[in-house]
Amino acid sequence: MSGELSLVREILAGYGKSRGALIPVLQEVQAALGYVPEGAMVEIARHLGIPASHVYSVASFYAQFRLQPLGRRRIAVCRGTACHVRGAPEILKELEGLTGIREGETSEDLEYTLETVACIGCCALAPCVRVNDEVYGEMTREKVRALFPDSEEAHRDAG
Amino acid sequence: MAVSLIIDGQTVRAAPGATVLEAALAGGIYIPHLCHHPDLTPAGACRLCYVTVNGGGPVLACRTPAQEGMVVQTGSPEIDEIRRGLVELLMANHHGNCKGCLKSGRCALQEIIAKLRIDRKKLQQLRPAAEELPRDTSNPFFVLDPNKCVLCGICVRTCEELVGVGALNFAGRGYRSRVGPLGAGPLAQSVCESCGECVERCPVAGLAYVDHRRPREHVQTVCHSCGAGCPVTLGLRDGRVVEAKGELCGRGRFGWRILQAPDRLTVPLIRRNGAPAEASWEEALDLAARELSRYRGGECAVLCSGRLTNEEAYLLQRFAREVLGTNNIDSTLRLTHAVSLETLREATGWGGATGPFEAVEEAACILLVGANVARSHPVLARRIRRAAARGARLVVIDPREDDLGRFAHLWLQPYPGTDPALLMGMAVALVEEQLVDPAILGGLGAFLASLEDFPPGRVSRITGVPEELVTEAAKCYATSRPAVALWGTGLTQHPHGGDGVRALINLALLAGHTGLYPLLEEANAQGVWDLGCTPHHLPGQRPVPDPRAGGKGPESSPKGDGASYPGLTLTEVWDAVLEGRVRALYIIGVDPLGELPEAEKIREALGRVELLVYQHCFMGATGPLAHVVLPAAGWFEKEGTVTRADGRITRVRRVAGPAGGSLPDGDIICGLAARMGGERFVPEPASVLGEIASGVRGYGGLSWEGLEKGAEANVARPPLEARAAPLEYRGPTERPDMQYPLLLTGARNSPYGDVLSQKVEGLRALQPEEYLALHHKDAADFGITDGDRVRVLSRRGELTVRAAVTDVCPPGVVILNYRVFPDSLTGTISRVCAVTLERLA
Amino acid sequence: MPDERYTVHVCHGTGCVSGGAEEVYARLGTIAGSGIRLKRTGCHGFCQQGPVVVIEPDGIFYCRVRVSDVGDIVASLSTEGRPVERLLYGDPAAGRTIIRYGEIPFYRRQERILLRNCGRIDPEDIDDYLATGGYQALSRALEMSPEEIIAEIRRSGLRGLGGAGFPAGRKWEACRRAPGTEKFVICNGDEGDPGAFQDRSVMEGDPHAVLEGMAIAGYAVGAARGYIYVRAEYPLAVKRLQLAIEQARQRGFLGRHILDRDFSFDIEVFQGAGAFVCGESTALVSSMEGNRGFPKPLPRPRTTESGLWGKPTLLNNVKTFAYVPKIILHGAGWFASRGTDKSKGTAVFSLTGKVANCGLIEVPMGTTLRQIIFEIGGGIPDGKRFKAVQTGGPSGGCLPADLLDLPVDFDSLTAAGSMMGSGGMVVVDEDTCMVDLARYFLDFSQRESCGQCLPCRLGTRQMFAILDDITRGRGRPEDLARLEELGRLVARSSLCGLGQTAPNPVLTTLRYFREEYEAHIKGRRCPAGVCGL
């Protein structure tokens, strides 16, 4: 925790005491730590001169911010319109089956986080899935399974 | 300019700047609304207050300014349809029914539903809210219930705009939005100060008191919990207080419960066969009077607190001087701000604040020194936050940064006990930056010479505050007008506390500012001081004549000569008892063994003293040692007047009680006086006030009837006439060294912890765990991580406490709450010493 | 370099990058010999066929190119050989392969003004932009007076392309006239409409056009600072814009004393954090001020009078700014000659869904839906039947087959119950359930509602709950009346435009596809077979 906080302090040193810096600071903290811990929010609040509850309020408003640590593989299923009409709900179902977690959850071993995203903007390649920073287009159940060879093995072993 | 408009055919006058909604409500025309509150900025979120203006389409009444000649309709088929639709949505989403709801009967939603014709059948066709959410019941006084919340945001705006704490905010978004503190954790563990302002304003049962009963009558009085003296209206039902209304803090809102504490003293006790036994008032007063009469003048001493009324204080000092024949009378103010009032009196002719607290909110710059004002005077802290939020510059001098930090323009963290040097350093900066009016500088030769002792480099070395910061703070204070300076016990509770006060007064004089405010903590500390409960001053702050002026210290004087010699202070009394000079003690409204530092010495003295008469609401730690215990009425159980810390005089009224067989302090004092031959001891407050008004400097011309009617009255302080006085630097008595490398100081980390809070169960529950605050660099040096248990060692004593790793204090300084700061560490009442730390496994 | 006979354009739009365009480019760099110039470009628009490689000057169009194809492409260039047949675009309608870019129906029917540079220039190289006449408009604008510029924009009839279609010139004028010495220009790149990506493509493919338009706007309204608010989901756009800003500063097109004149203007990128509502101007400003993205309720001052930090602020969409240099260079008349009477110029759409050719398209205002879907889009694949087209995203509506001849412009779409919105156009066929689609949009709206005002927070939630019940076979006969009533309530009483338009997908499907709802409720049957009843 103290290591995290000193990182946060380093980030804050680059910003003045202005409320307008809040979202960029949260983004930078999340980029550095993978999520925004509560201690970081308190620290950010002090630096920017705003209530900590305000930082939490903003962080919990925007879809981008994670308040819990994320899995190593962050899978985002696009739920844009084009993706929806071309089968995104099935893709999500398949992923829930493969990872054993539901939308919005992170697996206990911190391997996977499964989430949906409003629109990646790759509508012409619908349906799309993003794993960490890679976008995979024109997904099918088969192509989804191919993304998780380990998981599939695990399934087979279990079965 | 007021405007007039026509609402639903009725002509309504509206105040300038009023909205249509405000105009309508003021004119007695109801427009449904949930998110509007007159104290707060309009939100426009509930969408219920639609009206039409001059026949146009629907607009929100809460955001439309009232204009001359407007024709407003508060309803139309379209508007009615919108309102009904919205209320149906709310009802479908509202968990539970009204039966058994904490707010039933006082709920704005109920009121709206009653006024609109809701189609129950249609309502049943809507889908109900799915999940029932957990309620936050962590606060002992109120509950946060998301299932009842309508997300109007009134609580959020109250906490941010009015209180300035910002404990509550929205979290999440859309239909998943909730109101809650940081991290959605329990409210009681957040920065929430439990002031209840949000609960007061919540229109529904989103925030509701757990045990509220509707009052039948109301009494206006003044709050007891600190020197800010906030007006409070207590609501009563069946003779018992059930609520407190007004702009209040947690102690003010809920502290009245002390009246209903189960362990109140209700019967006089006298010691029989070594144990306290119940007695009648006759027996107890006879015994106390008889025993007190056996001692002569200076063999007696009287100790009291700032919880007496003005009238009681005046009677008490008369009792000491006229009946007991001694100036040995002092109050607990000795431990906090006596040095402030004495220094102010020497410097300016009157020991007291120079203006009203209201001026603090109007100031352009607020200099705050050594005060955890958010903890000691929470409502005053709100004024400061609001001033800062509207642009006033807040400059704070305190080793510990607290939650005012986010409002501060500058926060200077000097090493504990070095404030005088810092303040003189600021004076040097003013002179060097040529910010002092030459007219003021004239004739200040000695003072200017004394400034040479405070070159910037030296000041920076002594205080640990960078030179630029000292200069910036000084410039900010000097160039903002009007500016006020407030200080707390962080400045005064040092061996040379008077130097700090003097230095601050000097700074104000140089800058040409007149606002000076010592932050007295007990509700009537100022009145008790002004009316003579001090060994050096008679009522009206007139010095006790000292025939041995310049001679040796005070000593006991023969009976009947009481007014001729200054008496003993509260801190001197204990040694005098141990040396046998003082043999009888009359203690009122303070529990020395339970509340005051130097407990060991006090215990020994109380064991040794020949006669102890103890008068209090509670037994406390001192009661069991007393020969006579006299049960006293509490603050809201007696009539009188009080002088709040800024010199405003107001009426305190009997609201209930007195509990059991207890009596107001004034009645008890007069009872004793009558038995001991005192003359003209009449307990009726109106009569005593008359006597005060006719003879006490500063209190002349007061009238009971006037105060009764609510007339504003202030202490008439003499005009401010003062000159900066030279000062020589005397540093803290102890500095850190290799063996004890850290400087420990005391601070207040919670508003709770005084007797009041200890006696009210809910306030006690809100008391946070005690901790030692230390900077993360020091924590790293000592291998300590947050939450570790550590042993704090000074040259004289030790203490074990949990460590909190923060950066609210500078490296090299560690901070402990006053409440748990043991005398053993410093060996004196001082709260600064060098320490080292050991991490416990 | 004189001996460079061919230029190989490798599309680096997000779609093509996700298909492996970077690897293709790297491989080309390794094996292409002299005489071949490589160029990274922005989005070609035909994202579905990515990664796209175009060989100029011949205009040979290769699609779905893999790393393993690179060798053959290079070989075809060096030996004067024939194009690589298997990489050519096969037109499903005509049943033949097409060699050249301009001959592909997807492109042939378009008129690319705004997207002219997209896919042709290297967005990471300012010289490429300059070579196409870039920053000449800025230079010309600085010789004009601000009033002249505003008059030119007014005459062009340019309307804001963020959704509402407010005339740009009037907005600029209001901002110029607003009192105050400090003003801001904000480019709204918070393209949150699920199913639209044209703003992303412009920012990625032609970033300097946006910067140039903003600088001209800054000069016209009297602002010295500009911000581009970009969705955090668009990392490539952020990167390209930041690079472009850096290059523009180095060349003196941004910063102090632009082109040695007494005009200073600089731009920063502000990354949004994922909230659809921040596309609304006052919510966007709230979010830049470090707050929740709460729109400000009416009545309130316009953003042009009191926007960011309470200062006059000009806020326009990415495409609006990108048009500006072209209007300044070619004149208002050139722009106004396109489009319809009240909707000038071109419209840019993200054409997606059940359509053969998905991608980014630009057509003159007034082009019909039929032309777009069947001529450019190539109709519905797999022999399926067209059912509806959805425009305007969650704020828009679904239009049925009998409206296919509707001309696409601001006013016609609004009159039909939909809207232009930010330019998403999703085609659906007989396999799509309209109730499910309405449910999908309301799910989106209730998730993205900021929660500030009661009607949007609880109304969209309630509508979603009813729709959800209908798709699960739990619909009740009175539900349709409730939906219509709730839709009217939310539309009339919501605080901001997003809430006010959120019921549109339900109201239009109820209007045009009511029988599908009734089949779900009365017959417990989903005609499209989507809902598992």
> Based on the structure, what is the number of domains in chain C?
4
Taking the CA of residue A10 and the nearest CA in chain B, the distance in Å comes to 14
Q: Do residues C179 and C326 share a domain?
A: yes
**Is the minimum CB–CB distance between C476 and chain B shorter than 8 Å?**
yes
Instruction: Determine the Cα–Cα distance for residues C356 and C367; give it in Å rounded to an integer.
Output: 19
Instruction: Say if residue C89 is in the same domain as residue C230.
Output: no
- Residue B221's pLDDT band (boundaries 50, 70, 90)? very high
Which residue's entry shows tokens 């911000």? C227
Q: List pLDDT tens digits, range C389-427.
A: 999 888 889 999 999 999 999 889 888 888 887 788 999
Taking the Cβ of residue A52 and every Cβ of chain C, the question of whether any pair is shorter than 8 Å is answered with no
**How far does Cα B489 stand from its chain's mean position?**
13
Average pLDDT on B428-442 reads 88
Which residue, among C352, C418, C427, C434, would best test binding to A if mutated, counting the most A CBs under 10 Å from its CB?
C352
CA-closest candidate to residue B110, choices B139, B143, B87? B87
- Same domain as C59, residue C19: yes
Give pLDDT, residue A154: 45
Percent of residues in chain C assigned helix, strand, coil, to nearest 5: 45, 15, 40
Determine the distance in angstroms separating the CA of A118 from the nearest CA of chain C, rounded to an integer.
6
Domain containing C417 — which CATH number?
3.10.20.600
Mean pLDDT score, B526-533: 97
Cβ of residue C474 closer than 8 Å to a chain B Cβ? no
Domain end point (choices C381, C397, C428): C428
Q: Is the pLDDT of residue B273 over 70?
A: yes
A42–B170: do the CB atoms touch at under 8 Å? no
Q: What are phi and psi of B802, to 5 degrees?
A: -80, 145
For residue A52 the two structure tokens come to: 């900590």
Chain A: give the shortest CA distance to residue C29, in Å.
Answer: 22
- The reply to whether C265 falls in a domain is yes
Tokens of residue B682, six digits: 């009449």
Structure tokens at C67: 């790393």
Q: Does any CB of chain B come closer than 8 Å to the CB of residue C469? A: yes
CA distance B24 to B38: 12
Q: Are residues C70 and C156 in the same domain?
A: no
pLDDT bracket for residue B563 (50, 70, 90)? low
**What pLDDT is stored for residue C2 in this prediction?**
42
Q: Find chains touching chain B: ≥3 CB pairs under 8 Å.
A: A, C
- Mean pLDDT across B377-405: 94
Q: How many C-beta atoms lie closer than 10 Å to residue C528's C-beta?
A: 18
Q: Which of B807, B804, B793, B808 is nearest to B771 (CA)?
A: B804
CA–CA separation, B185 vs B179, rounded Å? Answer: 11
pLDDT of amino acid B572: 94
User: How far, in Å, CA of B343 to CA of B352, rounded?
Assistant: 10
Q: Are residues C228 and C99 part of one domain?
A: no
Residues of B with CB below 8 A from C278's CB?
none
Set of chain B residues whose Cβ sits within 8 Å of the Cβ of A5:
776
Topology adopted by domain A2-61: Arc Repressor Mutant, subunit A (1.10.10)
Partners of B177 on chain C (C-beta within 8 Å) are: 451, 457
Distance between CA atoms of residues B353 and B340, nearest Å: 10
CATH code, domain carrying C12: 3.40.30.10
A80 vs C: CB within 8 A: yes
Average pLDDT over residues B8-34: 95
Chain C neighbors (3+ CB pairs < 8 Å): A, B
Q: Is C419 within 8 Å of C448 (Cβ atoms)?
A: no
Q: Cβ–Cβ of C451/B177 closer than 8 Å? A: yes
Residues C332 and C354 in one domain: no
Comparing CA positions, the residue from B106, B119, B190 lying closest to residue B148 is B106
- C475 lies in which domain range? 434-522
Pairing of strands B832-839, B742-747: antiparallel
The reply to whether A2-61 and A73-158 are identical in fold is no
Q: Do C454 and B59 touch (CB under 8 A)?
A: no
Decide which of C389, C409, C428 is a domain's last residue: C428
Tell me the shortest Cα–Cα distance from B157 to chain A, in angstroms: 12
CATH of the domain at C485: 1.20.1440.230
> Residue A37's closest chain B neighbor by CA?
B183
Q: Are B630 and B611 in contact (CB under 8 A)?
A: no
Residue type, B770: E
Instruction: Please tell me the distance from the alpha carbon of residue C362 to that of residue C112, in angstroms, as a whole number.
Output: 6
Contact between chains at A124 and C350 (C-beta distance less than 8 A): yes
Delineate the domains of chain B, giving CATH numbers in brackets.
3-125 (3.10.20.740), 142-260 (3.30.70.20), 269-336+524-701 (3.40.50.740), 358-489 (3.40.228.10), 742-839 (2.40.40.20)
Q: Report the chain C residue with the minimal C-alpha distance to residue B51.
A: C493
Confidence of residue B122 (pLDDT cuts 50, 70, 90): confident
Task: Check C299 against B82: CB less than 8 A apart.
Answer: no
Strand-pair partners of A55:
none
Interface contacts (B, C; CB < 8 Å): 104
CA of C364 to nearest chain B CA: how many angstroms apart?
Answer: 36
Q: Does A150 touch chain C (CB under 8 A)?
A: no
- What is the 8-class DSSP label of residue B297? G
Q: Using an 8 Å CB-CB cutoff, list chain B residues near C300.
A: 63
Specify whether the CB–CB gap between B666 and B640 falls below 8 A: yes
Quick one: tokens of C329?
Answer: 């260079």
Residue C17: predicted pLDDT: 83
Per DSSP, the three-state class of C24 is helix
Distances (CA, A) of B641 to B222, B651, B685, C167, C358: 9, 4, 8, 68, 83
Contacts of B84 in chain C (CB under 8 A): none
In which residue are the tokens 């011309």 written? Answer: B701
Q: CB–CB of A58/A27 below 8 Å?
A: no
Among C43, C48, C360, pick the best mutation site for testing chain A contact (most A Cβ within 10 A). C48
Task: Please tell me if residue A69 touches chain C, with a CB cutoff of 8 Å.
Answer: no
Q: Tell me the C-alpha to C-alpha distance, in Å, between residue B190 and each of A38, A53, A68, B166, C64.
A: 12, 9, 19, 10, 56
DSSP per-residue letters across B215-247: -SEEEEEE-SSSTT--EEEEEEETTEEEEEESS
Domain end point (choices C53, C81, C108): C108
* pLDDT of amino acid A133: 80
What tokens were used for B75? 């309803």
Write down the pLDDT at residue B548. 59
Contacts (Cβ under 8 Å, ≥6 apart) of A98: A144, A145, A148, A151, A152, A155
* B661 phi and psi angles, rounded to 5 deg: -100, 20
Judge whether B63 is closer than 8 Å to chain C, CB to CB: yes
Strand partners for B771:
B802
Asked if A57 and B406 come within 8 Å (Cβ–Cβ), the reply is no
Residues C153 and C292 in one domain: yes
Residue C323 in domain: yes
Closest in C297, C446, C492 to B174, CB measured: C446
B172 in reach of chain C (CB within 8 A)? yes
pLDDT tens string B100-111: 899 988 999 999
Burial B373-393 (b: 16+ CB within 10 A, else e): bbbbbbbbbbbbbbbbeeebb
Q: Answer yes or no: do B786 and A2 touch at CB < 8 A.
A: yes
Radius of gyration of chain B (CA): 29
Of A24, A61, A82, the CB nearest to C292: A61
Cross-chain Cβ contact B167/A55 below 8 Å: no
Q: Distance (Å) from the C-alpha of residue C509 to the closest C-alpha of chain A? A: 15
Residue type at position C469 = D
Could you tell me if residue B812 is left (phi over 0), alpha (psi between -120 and 50 degrees) or otherwise beta? left
pLDDT of residue B817: 86
CA torsion through residues B588, B594, B599, B605, sign: positive
Q: What share of chain B is helix, strand, coil (3-state, %, to 5)?
A: 35, 20, 45
Q: What pLDDT does residue B552 have?
A: 40
B827-839 pLDDT, tens digit per residue, is 777 788 999 999 9
Do residues C117 and C206 lie in contact, with contact meaning Cβ atoms separated by under 8 Å?
yes
* Structure-model confidence comparison of residues B32 and B184, the more confident one: B32
pLDDT at B534 over 90: yes
Chain A, chain C: beta-carbon pairs less than 8 Å apart: 155
Query: Could you tell me the CATH superfamily of domain A73-158?
Result: Glutaredoxin (3.40.30.10)
Non-local (6+) Cβ contacts of B107 within 8 A are: B98, B101, B203, B204, B205
Residues of chain A contacting B, Cβ within 8 Å: 1-2, 5-6, 38, 41-42, 45-46, 48-57, 60-61, 67
CA gap A145, A153 in Å, rounded: 10
**Which residues face B837 on adjacent strands?**
B792
- Report the residue of chain B nearest A36, measured CA to CA: B183
pLDDT tens-place string over residues B717-772: 888 777 788 888 887 778 889 999 999 998 877 776 677 778 888 998 888 888 99
Distance (Å, whole) CA C522 – CA C524: 6
Q: What percent of chain A has pLDDT over 90?
A: 49
Measuring CA to CA, how many Å separate C442 from each of A115, B683, C438? 19, 74, 6
Confidence (pLDDT) at B561: 47
Nearest 5 degrees, angle CA C122-CA C123-CA C126?
A: 90
A60 neighbors A67 (Cβ within 8 angstroms): yes
Residues 6+ apart with CB under 8 A from B84: B116, B117, B118, B119
Residue C44: inside a domain, yes or no? Answer: yes
Residue B684 pLDDT more than 80?
Answer: yes
Q: Which of C426, C437, C450 to mutate to test binding with chain A, by most A CBs within 10 Å of its CB? A: C426
Looking at the structure, do residues C316 and C357 belong to the same domain, yes or no? no
Asked if residue C132 and residue C88 are part of one domain, the reply reads no
Taking residues B8-23, report their average pLDDT: 94
Residue C414 lies in a domain: yes
pLDDT of residue A156: 47
Nearest to B337 by CA among B310, B377, B366: B377
Q: Would you call B597 helix, strand, or coil by DSSP?
A: coil
Distance between CA atoms of residues B616 and B585, nearest Å: 14
Using a CB-CB cut-off of 8 Å, the residues of chain B touching C275 are 173
Give the pLDDT of residue A153.
44
How far apart are the C-alpha atoms of B617 and B259, rounded to whole Å? 9
Angle made by CA atoms B491, B492, B496, in degrees to the nearest 5: 105
Q: What residues of chain C score a pLDDT lower than 50?
A: 1-2
Asked if the C-beta of B719 comes within 8 angstroms of chain C's C-beta atoms, the answer is no
- Tell me how far apart the alpha carbons of residues B333 and B340 are, in angstroms, rounded to a whole number: 10
Q: Return the residue in A81, A90, A93 with the most chain C beta carbons within 10 A, the one to mutate for interface testing.
A: A81
- Residue C331 shares a structural domain with residue C399: no
Largest CA distance in chain A: 57
Residue type (1 letter), B411: W
Chain C CB within 8 Å of residue A7 CB: no
Closest Cα in chain C, distance from residue A110 (Å):
23
Query: Does C416 lie in the same domain as C327?
Result: no
Q: Which residue of A has its CA nearest to C445?
A: A118
* B137-157 tens-digit pLDDT: 999 999 999 999 999 999 999
The structural domains of chain A, with segments of one domain joined by +, span 2-61, 73-158
Q: Does residue C117 form part of some domain?
A: no
**What mean pLDDT do residues B699-704 have?**
92
Chain B interface, Cβ < 8 Å to A: 160, 165-173, 180-184, 190-191, 405-407, 776, 785-786, 805
Tens-place pLDDT, residues B601-635? 999 999 999 999 999 999 999 999 999 999 999 99
**Are C355 and C424 contained in the same domain?**
yes
Residue C1 included in any domain: no
Distance from CA of A80 to the nearest CA of B (A): 18
DSSP string, B5-23: EEETTEEEEE-TT-BHHHH
What would the two tokens of residue C502 be?
């959120």
Of residues B45, B59, B63, nearest to C452 (C-beta): B45
Rounded mean pLDDT of B202-213?
A: 95
CA separation for the pair C460, C441 (Å, rounded) = 10
